[in-house]
Amino acid sequence: MHRIQATIKLSALQHNLAVARTRAPQSRIVAMIKANAYGHGLVPAARALGDADVFGVTDINEAETLSKAGLNKPVLILQGLIDKADILRVVHGNYQLVVHRPEDLVWLEETLDSISVKTPLTLWLKLDSGMGRLGLTAGEFAMLHAALKRKSWVGEIIALTHLANAGMPDNALNRQQLDCFSSLMQQEELAGPSQSIVASAGLFTLQNNSAWARPGLMLYGSSPFSWHDESRRSHSLGLKAAMKLEARLISIREHSTGDSIGYNSWFICPEPMRIGIVSAGYADGYPAMTPNGCPVMIAGKRTTSVGRVSMDMMAIDLTDLPQAEIGMPVELWGNNISVDEVACHTGTISYELLSAVAERVPRIHV
């Protein structure tokens, strides 16, 4: 490590995929590697997760990146068609596609009805059962399903929905969404499609009878549940952290009572303190508005941040750590400091912390 580094443990990805398999032994697995594999590196993560059945990516560009890297696993484009021109690229790459709006059918018909498609497409038809984001109404779903079944360029159709509150197992919307999806799938004219409902949280809290599961966050060793739910923290779920983010301790200074630390005087020393400066900041992806007291680890001991995070630096309390020396690595999150705990303290979610690690941070895959 020079200044800062994210070390990605590929065996942890493989371990967490195996945990997902045990939670859904009868299901095929779509491994979510969108958004640069949640910040872990798209292609290296895909290679580590090669035992998955399908890779889930955001758009056609991520799909083509995998193909260019020689990864021939089926790829599902989760955000569907961004532009009509995407369709021929989807056909060329034989990618799977989420269909989530009536306009998609119009675009597909205009492009594909007049040409010969060598390999029929696998389409995932998405129902908005209560998420209120992307997806079809029940009526639109039935209409598109009937129309797509008649197309020669369609192979398999898979029915998909996404739960808004799976991370809150007792939330009433979970049951409403499941009932909405189940009711639609029981209609005689919709008999046949494979189904996909659960993602990371649902794999731990819901009975999964669907043919497809879509683990995402759990693959990277983070819990999809609140940090305050101690029984569902990542270690309790059998998950292993895949990313360790660490930076160098580059300065140590003794401060007096009343000294101000950092921008806007967010921290005033209540007593004489030993303060260290760490070579990590918001330009590396560490949250700028992190409150005082966020946990870090140095020399095998936990301590906390003090003061406002700068672009390239942050301050930590070394008062009770005389063994800390300039040049030592400081773990910001990883095996000892959970990214979930950091997310809780900073008022965000671990999804954001992991995926926001900046491009300038070297990623070392081991």
**Residue linked to tokens 């959970």:** 338
The pLDDT score that the predictor gives to residue 96 is 98
Tell me where in the chain the CATH 2.40.37.10 domain(s) lie. 243-337
CB contact at 8 A, 326 and 251: yes
The pLDDT score that the predictor gives to residue 189 is 86
Partners of 273 in the β-ladder: 255
What DSSP state is assigned to residue 172?
Answer: H
Q: How remote is the C-alpha of 119 from its chain's centroid?
A: 30
Does the predicted model carry a pTM greater than 0.75?
Answer: yes
The pLDDT score that the predictor gives to residue 190 is 85
The pLDDT score that the predictor gives to residue 188 is 84
The pLDDT score that the predictor gives to residue 192 is 74
Residue 286 annotated in active site: no
Outline where DSSP puts E strands in the chain.
4-8, 28-32, 54-57, 75-77, 96-99, 121-127, 154-161, 194-199, 212-214, 243-255, 260-261, 267-268, 273-278, 295-298, 301-306, 314-317, 329-333, 363-365
Residue 38 annotated in active site: no
Pick the CATH number of 243-337 from 3.90.45.10, 2.40.37.10, 1.20.950.20, 2.40.110.10: 2.40.37.10
Residues of the chain with confidence (pLDDT) below 70: none
- Of 68, 73, 244, 263, which one is the catalytic site residue? 263
Determine the Cα–Cα distance for residues 195 and 177; give it in Å rounded to an integer: 14
Residue 127, CB-side half-sphere exposure with 13 Å CA sphere: 28
Tell me where in the chain the CATH 3.20.20.10 domain(s) lie. 10-222
CATH number given to 10-222 = 3.20.20.10
- Of 9, 34, 151, 244, which one is the catalytic site residue? 34
